[in-house]
């Protein structure tokens, strides 16, 4: 009986080893001619948003690299959960990817226990860019500094509207933390991305918002929008006179957004390596880098392992941060 048990265990070991070998071979075969059809990149914000525009620039470069279409599919909603959840459940073949803002694979699951996916359901491919945000007010508001915004809001508790990029986003958390720091009460309005925030400010529908840099200098010169402070770790060359919130005495607001490219976990490593190498070449193109900078982003290429490290560090920092700074939803 003992010899039979040993034989059975040996047989199972052989089967497992064979299965692993078949998986490895299948991955190499799949990667050998990848892609053979269009690849979808899902974006968790609407068409026309900065994230969407950036993804289209990236997809152009990937199309040139592979000679196949990379189709950008905006899928907003659920505080980025709709797009991220869809990719997490997609076939593990490299044909459905996610343009992942930082919060979609870090902060989301910490503030939403009912999230239909987890960051661990998605495999890192490459770190792409850093995404500074700008606290901005509509030009017709009698406010030209953070101190003036604070005084204006305190005189009108709960009546000053402050837009953010959506539920569970970095901009929502930052806006609520800033309100606490200023001891001011705002009416927080979530939008599906920064495009909606800016449109609402330009239409005088909201007083202030967490905006992006792309296009903002022109609106500032025209007096239509007024940038007050950057949510970033350093100033941006497009707005050199605008101080960071750190410089203005808000040490809790040191969070920084980024974009990463991700696939369903279990996607063959060979395909991830192919995509990462292509992204590295795309982000070295000076014309593309210039266009990305014009959007207000900062190119920040990183390997799959580097993106995994960034996610791990951010998760650890966010857990500690939220434990010490609980946010009222």
Average pLDDT of each block of 10 consecutive residues along the chain (329 residues)? 56 52 51 93 92 96 97 93 97 98 92 91 97 95 97 97 88 91 95 90 97 93 97 89 95 88 98 98 95 89 97 90 71
* Amino acid 193: pLDDT: 82
Distance of CA 242 to the CA centre of its chain: 23
User: Which spans in the chain are helix H?
Assistant: 2-32, 50-66, 81-88, 107-111, 146-154, 170-182, 194-202, 216-221, 269-282, 286-294, 304-324
* Amino acid 20: pLDDT: 47
* 16 within a domain of the structure (yes/no): no
**How far is residue 254's CA from residue 245's CA, in Å, rounded to a whole number?**
8
Residues 125 and 263 in one domain: yes
- Domain that includes residue 169, residue range: 133-231
* Amino acid 19: pLDDT: 47
Residues 46 and 106 in one domain: yes
Q: Report which of 156, 229, 222 is spatially closest to residue 186, judged by C-alpha positions.
A: 156
Residues 104 and 158 in one domain: no
Residues 298 and 315 in one domain: yes
Residue 92 burial by CB count (10 A; 0-12/13-18/19+): exposed, middle or buried? middle
How many independent structural domains does the chain possess? 2
* 151 within a domain of the structure (yes/no): yes
Residues 260 and 118 in one domain: yes
* Amino acid 248: pLDDT: 96
Tokens found for residue 65: 């690299």
Q: Which one of 198, 231, 264 terminates a domain? A: 231
Residues 140 and 124 in one domain: no
Residues 119 and 140 in one domain: no
* Amino acid 158: pLDDT: 94
Q: How far is CA 55 from CA 50, 90, 126, 163, in A?
A: 8, 19, 13, 23
Contact 207, 197 (CB under 8 A): no
* Amino acid 13: pLDDT: 54
Residues 69 and 145 in one domain: no
Looking at residue 177, which CATH number applies to its domain? 3.40.190.10
């Amino acid at each position: 009986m003992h010899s039979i048990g040993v034989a059975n265990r040996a047989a199972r070991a052989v089967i497992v080893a064979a299965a692993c070998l078949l998986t490895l071979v299948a991955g190499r075969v799949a990667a050998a001619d990848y892609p053979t059809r269009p690849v979808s990149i899902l974006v968790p914000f609407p068409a026309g948003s900065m994230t969407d525009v950036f993804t289209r620039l990236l997809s152009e470069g990937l199309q040139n690299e592979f000679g196949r279409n990379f189709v950008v599919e905006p899928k907003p909603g659920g505080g980025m959960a709709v797009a991220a959840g869809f990719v997490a459940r997609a076939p593990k073949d490299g044909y459905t990817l996610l343009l992942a803002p930082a919060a979609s694979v870090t902060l989301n699951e910490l503030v939403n226990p009912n999230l239909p996916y987890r960051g661990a359901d998605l495999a890192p491919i490459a770190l792409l860019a850093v995404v500074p945000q700008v606290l901005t007010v509509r030009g017709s508001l009698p406010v030209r500094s953070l101190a003036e915004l604070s005084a204006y809001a305190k005189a009108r508790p709960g009546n000053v509207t402050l837009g953010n990029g959506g539920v569970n986003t970095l901009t929502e958390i930052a806006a609520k933390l800033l309100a606490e720091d200023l001891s001011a009460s705002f009416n927080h309005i979530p939008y599906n991305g920064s495009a909606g925030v800016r449109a609402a400010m330009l239409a005088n529908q909201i007083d202030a918002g967490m905006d992006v840099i792309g296009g903002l200098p022109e609106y500032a010169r025209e007096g239509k929008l007024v940038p007050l402070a950057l949510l970033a770790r350093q100033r941006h060359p497009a707005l050199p006179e605008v101080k960071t919130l750190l410089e203005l005495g808000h040490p809790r607001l040191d969070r920084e957004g980024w974009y990463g490219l991700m696939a369903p976990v279990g996607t063959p490593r060979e395909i991830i390596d192919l995509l990462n190498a292509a992204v590295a070449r795309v982000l070295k193109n000076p014309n593309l880098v210039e266009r990305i900078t014009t959007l207000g982003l900062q190119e920040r290429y990183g390997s799959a392992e580097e993106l995994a490290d960034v996610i791990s560090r951010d998760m650890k920092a966010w857990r500690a941060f939220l434990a010490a700074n609980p946010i009222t939803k």
